[in-house]
Amino acid sequence: MARRVKIPMLHTSIFFREPEMWAKLEKLIMQRYSKYTKFQVLDLGCSWGAEAYSLAYTLHKLGYNYHITAVDQNPEVVNYASKGVFKFDSNLRRVYRETDIFIQEGDGVIQGFVVNDVYRQKISFSVADITTSTFWKTLRRNTFHLVVIRYVLIHIPTEKIPFILDNIYQILTPQGLLFLGRSEKIEKYSSNFKKIERGIYEPLRY
Ligand SMILES: C[S@@+](CC[C@H](N)C(=O)[O-])C[C@H]1O[C@@H](n2cnc3c(N)ncnc32)[C@H](O)[C@@H]1O
């Protein structure tokens, strides 16, 4: 019997959330980066991984060689994400039909959709708290072409947001992109970024 998974709202992660934003992101990536770029992505607050797998699919489709570093502070969702088996859900059935993210619709043995290894092996999921210096010290400056932090800052104490944005600024490449949720704004927390589109920013280099 197919089962529905119950994930608290705090950990909601959706494949291709706000599709029109994904189309804009694709366009910006192609404008900025040649196919020879070894594309590095940092996915902050990845939850159970829908976004990381959406990113993997997108970069593969665009023809990039890429790696995604995905982190979340909650060990349970990180464990779920890294297994790459998603419980049945009508949304996922659509993703299964329209992409090759899932190779298999499970049966009596595997109760869910199984992620294609092509994508799974390109993502490293780990547990980390992005409000701590310990986490940021593990990352190299000027390394990431894309930082994704969608619907995560809303869960962070406001006094910690400038610290996180400052660190994102340091680890982004000069042409890097910062991908937020459509309705998310960062102007009041940092003057180091310029808005390109709703929810998409780039670092200002002085
Ligand atoms: C609403 S989910 C967003 C998931 C995903 N970014 C998306 O939009 O599909 C928010 C996630 O942020 C994570 N999060 C909140 N505070 C965090 C922190 N300090 N460090 C790492 N992850 C955090 C939560 O555990 C949760 O999984």
| Per-domain residue ranges of the chain | 18-28+35-203
Q: Pick the atom of ligand 1 nearest to 181's CA.
A: 8
pLDDT at residue 2, rounded to an integer: 40
Torsion angles phi and psi, residue 50, rounded to 5: -55, -40
Cα(74) to centroid of ligand 1, in Å? 8
- Check residue 141 and report its DSSP letter: T
Q: Is the CB of 73 under 6 A from ligand 1?
A: yes
Residues 135/71, Cβ–Cβ less than 8 Å: yes
Cα(34) to centroid of ligand 1, in Å? 30
Q: Pick the atom of ligand 1 nearest to 43's CA.
A: 6
Q: What is the pLDDT of residues 192-203, one digit of tens each?
A: 999 999 999 999
Cα(45) to centroid of ligand 1, in Å? 3
Q: Is the CB of 130 under 6 A from ligand 1?
A: yes
| Mean per-residue pLDDT of the chain | 91
Torsion angles phi and psi, residue 90, rounded to 5: -65, -35
Using 70 as the pLDDT threshold, list the residues of the chain that sit under it: 1-11, 105-111
Torsion angles phi and psi, residue 193, rounded to 5: -125, 150
Q: Looking at ligand 1, which residue's alpha carbon is closest to its atom 13?
A: 45
Q: Is the CB of 147 under 6 A from ligand 1?
A: no
Quote the longest CA-to-CA distance of the chain: 58
50-62 vs 19-32: helix axis angle to the nearest 10?
40
Q: Is the CB of 126 under 6 A from ligand 1?
A: no
Q: Pairing mode, if any, of strands 38-44 and 65-72?
A: parallel
Q: Pick the atom of ligand 1 nearest to 47's CA.
A: 27
Would you state the structure tokens that stand for residue 132, as one six-digit string?
């701590």
Q: Looking at ligand 1, which residue's alpha carbon is closest to its atom 2?
A: 11
Q: Pick the atom of ligand 1 nearest to 160's CA.
A: 19
> Which are the contacts of 188, defined by CB distance < 8 A and separation ≥ 6?
none
Q: How many CA atoms are closer than 13 Å to the CA of 171, on its beta-carbon side? A: 23
- Cα–Cα distance measured from residue 131 to residue 182, given in angstroms and rounded to the nearest whole number: 22
- Cα–Cα distance measured from residue 181 to residue 109, given in angstroms and rounded to the nearest whole number: 36
> Which are the contacts of 33, defined by CB distance < 8 A and separation ≥ 6?
39, 64, 145, 175
Tokens 């982190």, located at residue: 71
Question: Class for domain 18-28+35-203, per CATH?
Answer: alpha beta
pLDDT at residue 7, rounded to an integer: 44
Cα(107) to centroid of ligand 1, in Å? 30
Q: In what order do the strands lie in the sheet with 123-127?
A: 123-127, 65-72, 38-44, 144-148, 172-179, 200-203, 193-197
pLDDT at residue 87, rounded to an integer: 81
